[in-house]
Amino acid sequence: MRSLQPVRGTQDLLPEMARRHRRITELARDIAELYGFAEIATPIFEFTEVFSRPIGETSDIVAKEMYSFTDRGGEEITLRPENTAGVVRAVLSDGLLQNTPLKFFYSGPMFRYERPQKGRFRQFHQIGVELIGVAQPQADIEVIALGSRILDALGIRQHTVLELNTLGDPASRAGYREALIAYFSRRVSELSEDSRRRLERNPLRIFDSKEESDQRVSLEAPIFDDYINTPSRDFFARVRDGLDRLGIGYRLNPRLVRGLDYYSHTAFEFATSDLGAQGTVIGGGRYDGLIEMMGGPEMPGVGWAAGIERLAMLIAEPAGPPRPIAVVPIGEAAEGAALTLAEVLRNNGCAVDLSYSGNVARRMRRANRINARAAVLIGEDEIARNVVALRDLDSGEQVEVPIENLSLSELRARLQAFYG
């Protein structure tokens, strides 16, 4: 039955994958706090203009990929395809600009109508950071260093390469844009239909194309390095010097671009060859023109976003929860005592599974199925003698332990010994 299947491009996060997501998010949040980034959470839907205005009506994201709808009040609403615009909207609407610099960490689901493939979903999850209000290259260095540290802590930095490029300032980009339009116009017949549309509006985005014909033509396009002015070169040199000082290796990639007009100066990606074509795990850059484009004052910003699904495919399996203690009542009369005992054990920090029905054999089979470390058995006889039977489910050894008035000192000590 189709209605009982997940919608194409979505997935259920079952416990193992949920542990991977939680590991990434919690570790990234903790490391971001070391750098002074505070957590922010914006709504998963915004007025459509929040995204369409900065991203551009002609971009693939707005034209083809956004989940947009009219709500019952007649408002045009969009599920967020990315979170930078939402964070900037929050900064403006909540009047935070007088407190710059602002440093935010976020995590959560994003939505794009894309062709599902390995590591790419229509509902996907990201972590990200935004540093707003710092024009100096130290901001670029810091957010890159933060991303590198997160990847290192996840055990995957050595499987990635930091690719780095400069997009220059607006004056540099304007000259380069004219050169690209002239070049691609001479070879327009070789371009894909999408790239022909991009030619006049945003020729830099032709470099993003996955079409083989576009990539072939792009190989001979003018190099941005020929159009970068001195201030832009100096800025990029300071970024590279800072990364060198921190021992963060990188590879220059002159074809690494951000096609939207509000991006400037540093563009970067941490990429891996372990995921096939979907190799970018962190992507970011400087967006000095975004806040002004969204109706705020001229204000610099830099940040990055990372796909949790892709990171989850690369990290080692996180440790699971501690093996539980199975509390097994023997007979109906012991159900109440078992319920109380289970709660007392939880109050003492034990993970407890209380089986709900069935005879002792059935309940013990459940204990084995959930990989319980031990079983605490209690029946009428044990209640009368103020004891429980404690069974080591690894060795099979069983002993009686007194619990006078639910004083669990000996039982707790024995249970703690099971976990080393």
Asked whether residue 331 falls in the same domain as residue 391, the answer is yes
Phi, psi dihedrals of residue 111, rounded to the nearest 5° = -140, 125
b/e burial code for range 168-189 (CB count within 10 A of at least 16 → b): bbeebbebbbebbeebbeeeee
- pLDDT for the residue 248: 97
Asked whether residue 257 falls in the same domain as residue 277, the answer is yes
Query: Global pTM?
Result: 0.88
Q: Is residue 247 part of a domain?
A: yes
- pLDDT for the residue 411: 82
| Predicted confidence (pLDDT) at residue 356 exceeds the cutoff of 60 | yes
Q: Is residue 191 part of a domain?
A: no
Q: What is the mean pLDDT of residues 44-52?
A: 93
- pLDDT for the residue 324: 94
- For the chain, percent of residues with pLDDT exceeding 70: 95
Asked whether residue 110 falls in the same domain as residue 237, the answer is yes
Q: Is residue 206 part of a domain?
A: no
Asked whether residue 330 falls in the same domain as residue 300, the answer is no
Q: Is residue 209 part of a domain?
A: no
The answer to whether 279 touches 273, Cβ cutoff 8 Å, is yes
Asked whether residue 136 falls in the same domain as residue 164, the answer is yes
Question: At 85, which CATH number?
Answer: 3.30.930.10
Domain stop point among 314, 348, 368: 314
Asked whether residue 66 falls in the same domain as residue 156, the answer is yes
Asked whether residue 390 falls in the same domain as residue 270, the answer is no
Domain stop point among 314, 344, 360: 314
- Please give the tally of structural domains in the chain: 2
Asked whether residue 276 falls in the same domain as residue 336, the answer is no
For residue 147, the enclosing domain spans 2-169+229-314
Which among 119, 142, 59, 149 is positioned nearest to 272, based on CA atoms?
119
Enter the tokens of residue 292: 């002004």
Question: At 336, which CATH number?
Answer: 3.40.50.800
- pLDDT band, residue 206 (cuts 50/70/90): confident
Asked whether residue 111 falls in the same domain as residue 249, the answer is yes
